[in-house]
Structure 1
Amino acid sequence: MKTMKGPGLFLAQFLGDQAPFNSLKSICGWAAGLGYKGVQIPTWDARMIDLEKAAQSKDYCDEIKGIANEAGVEITELSTHLQGQLVAVHPAYDEGFDAFAAPHVRGNPKARQEWAVSQVLAAAKASRHLGLDVHVTFSGALAWPYIYPWPPRPAGLIDTAFDELARRWKPILDAHEEVGVDVAYEIHPGEDLFDGATFEMFLQRVGNHARCNINYDPSHFCLQGLDYLAFIEHYHERIKAFHVKDAELNTSGKQGVYSGFQDWPHRAGRFRSLGDGQVDFGAIFSQLAVHDYDSWAVLEWECAIKNSMDGAREGAEFIAQHIIKVSESSFEDFIGQGADTSVARRSLGLER
């Protein structure tokens, strides 16, 4: 077994215009002061990293690493969640997702998609320059508006959507293979990859690509009523990143998993700060340890109730307490008799 790294912090939810949240140096120092040992960098914010420059220059990446290290943290992964979302966008979401794109491609879905692909490709090279083996992202979605089959979906619609999604991502996965970096998709409602079944549909279409992997976040499974521990058993070989985020699903006579179009504090399903929800993290950390997960445990803070500063402070302590320093020996070693076949045969009554 192996010991995972952490605690890490996804910086996206903490960026702002005021210090210490407005520069890489100051926010890394703030995170280190809370006890974080790593930071996951959102690549869409130029205050954190110039992604295109990072893809072109290892010297620049060495500078970025130096800033983080001097502040007391490592870089865990680069995130292209927003850009990955734009690799595949159903027209129903054009207006909403335009805000995720660079200004010069907004209002032009074709140009926006091409820009998004270039960004995710750049993340592969930048990750390698930074010495990172994994980068985290979203898959985007073409089929999501048809999640509930009423009216009945046209025959072949889902197959067509997943065929197209795979067609768009296969060259990106190949580019990551060339530089030895895994793509870890966050399995997330709103993406076409939102559970195990949909991940398998996509994985099959990209030829079981070695670089097609998972950013495991149990909060999204809790809100679907999906068994997040069994998910680890099914897909542990593909889990390459871990977002530590809590959630709760409190169904009632008025709301179920769809939560009745209510705002976040009043939803049946809502995200919570670590320890305030229903996710069994003790079991999750144990399962991941058993399956040799040795990458980062990264807090993604989202909570419908608690403020972010308390969530960040408590989250560092929570993750540190849950990381299992795995045993290097068995508790039964003191009575071990070694690999003696004669003892084994006598124990079985084969040498009477």
Structure 2
Amino acid sequence: MPKLATLKGPSIHLIQYLRNEAPYSTLDGLAGWAASIGIKALQIPVDPRLIDIHRAASDQAYADSILATVRKHGLEISELSSHLAGQLVAAHPAYDALFDGFAPAEYRGNKAAREEWARGVLFASAKASKRLGLKAHATFSGALAWPYFYPWPQRPAGLIDTAFEELGRRWLPILEAFDEAGVDLAYEIHPGEDLHDGVSFERFLKAVNNHPRASILYDPSHFVLQQLDYLSFIDIYHERIKVFHVKDAEFVPDGRQGVYGGYTDWAERAGHFRALGDGQVDFKGIFTRLAKYGFDGWAVLETECAFKDPEVCAVEGAEFIKRHIIPVVGDGAFDDFAGSGLSKGGVRKVLGLE
């Protein structure tokens, strides 16, 4: 059993708050805003408005300046994230037009160039994370098999195996780069990605030879929407969980729609994301399990509520996370006051063996 650990937090995933107006348009501005609402760390997306990821990979002085900007506000960096680039490492042709906008303009319409750009971002993220002193990195796996997640029409034999073999082939060199950097690569388990539940993550692990850096970004909201047991997921995969998004959700099916949502917008779907505390996620159970299994990473607030203003979500969410972090007990047990004082040698006598 791992030693108990106290989670760090709250951190905040900045992607939902990045926009082209002050103070949300620069790292300095976002850091100042985050500090003002009680945030302790930032999960920084590799957006050029916040960080030049290739420069951070090669220039220690520049990486130090990023750290200085954050520390000026009393904050830390919990992780970097490269979700959009990760998505483009493997994109099924059905989504080419929709995902093309994830890449810079000069790579759009050229799938090979776009994928090469995406891989470059991941390789740079490994080196930049090392220069910044980070332990984990957050990303998406991309998807080759996702259009076939429901087996109708019948999937041809070998389709899923081939897709995961190719996914593994694409990610293995990137995982090796993260291993060289001493950084875990945490894939967000997320519908729309080939890694969307435990079974698909295990398929991927097999494809990358159980690579030690292949890790999980755990976000229970995506499991509520799939009706997956998100507490048991921690019991099974806790050794691979390296990043934690704290996001709430609710699933309220009726006679007209269920998990698939009937193509409705988020607010009308049976399953949708909510502000922390407004949904159905058992965060007491989650924080307890993570503490029990020795997760010593950051609790990272992510906001995608279908109803509540994101500014309010951030303010309320920071306090919510603080309340849920469990300062774990040190060595010893709560009932040590009632110890028998019996020596090891006396145990056999108690059992009637001597």
Instruction: State if a TM-score over 0.5 links the two structures.
Output: yes
2:91 maps to a residue whose letter is: V
For 2:160, the equivalent position in structure 1 comes to 158
Cα deviation, residue 47, structure 1: 1.7
Deviations 1:179-227 (A, max 9, x none): 1111000000000000000000000110100000000000000100000
Tell me the equivalent position of 2:345: 342
Residue 346 of structure 1, CA deviation: 2.2
Matched, 1:147 2:174: no
CA 1:207 to 1:335, structure 2 compared with 1: closer, same or farther past 3 Å? same
Deviations 1:13-34 (A, max 9, x none): 0011111101111110110111
Work out the CA distance in 1 between the residues paired with 2:94 and 2:148.
11
User: Residues 44-193 of structure 1 correspond to what in structure 2 (within 5 A)?
Assistant: 45-193=47-195
Q: For 1:84 and 1:245, locate their aligned partners in 2 and report how far apart those are by CA, in whole Å.
A: 21
Match of 1:330 in 2: 333
Contact 1:29/1:72 (CA < 8 Å) preserved in 2? no
Q: For the residues of structure 1 that align with 2:131 and 2:102, how far apart are their CA atoms?
A: 25
Equivalent-residue separation in structure 2 for 1:73 and 1:187 (angstroms) = 27
Equivalent position of 2:310 in the other structure? 308
Partner of 1:32: 35
Q: Out of 25, 42, 51, which is 1:22 matched to?
A: 25
Indicate the residue corresponding to 2:215 in structure 1: 213
* Aligned CA-pair RMSD: 0.9
Amino acid at match of 1:257: V
Q: Which residue is 2:320 aligned to? A: 318
Query: What is the CA-CA distance between 1:58 and the residue it aligns to?
Result: 1.1
Q: Give SS of 1:139's match.
A: coil
TM-score between both structures, scaled by the size of structure 2: 0.98
3-state SS, counterpart of residue 91 of structure 2: coil
Q: Which amino acid aligns with 2:69?
A: I
Q: CA-to-partner distance for each residue in 1:293-329, whole Å, 9 max, x for gaps?
A: 0000000111000010100000000000000000113
Structure 2 gap segments, 5+ residues each = none
Aligned partner of 2:252 in structure 1 is 250
How far apart, CA to CA, are the structure 2 residues paired with 1:339 and 1:310?
A: 56
Alpha carbons of structure 1 residues 89 and 339: separation in structure 2 relative to 1, 3 Å: farther
Identity of aligned residues (%): 59
**1:218-297 alignment to 2 at 5 Å?**
218-297=220-299
The residue type equivalent to 2:315 in the other structure is: R
Q: Does the 8 Å CA contact 1:273/1:306 hold for their aligned counterparts?
A: yes
TM-score in terms of structure 1 length: 0.98
> Structure 1: which 5+ runs fail to align?
none
Hey, what's the Cα distance between the residues in 2 that align with 1:35 and 1:27? 13
